[in-house]
Amino acid sequence: MFSIGLVLSAGGMLGDPFHAGVLARLAATTGWDARRA
């Protein structure tokens, strides 16, 4: 078994949409869904 650590850091009004895009692309590319981590 292995663990994955992911640190996201952004602020302001663009932080949430940026993180949503990063996580969506990560899930689409690798199949890894952070909600199930």
The per-residue pLDDT for 29 is 96
Long-range contacts of 24-32 (CB under 8 A, 24+ apart): 32/4
Mean pLDDT over each residue of the chain, to the nearest integer: 88
DSSP label at residue 35: G
> 14 or 29, which is more confident?
29
Q: Which two tokens mark 9?
A: 């850091």
Reply yes or no on whether the pLDDT at 23 is more than 90: yes
10 neighbors 20 (Cβ within 8 angstroms): no
| DSSP letter string, 11-30 | -STTHHHHHHHHHHHHHHHH
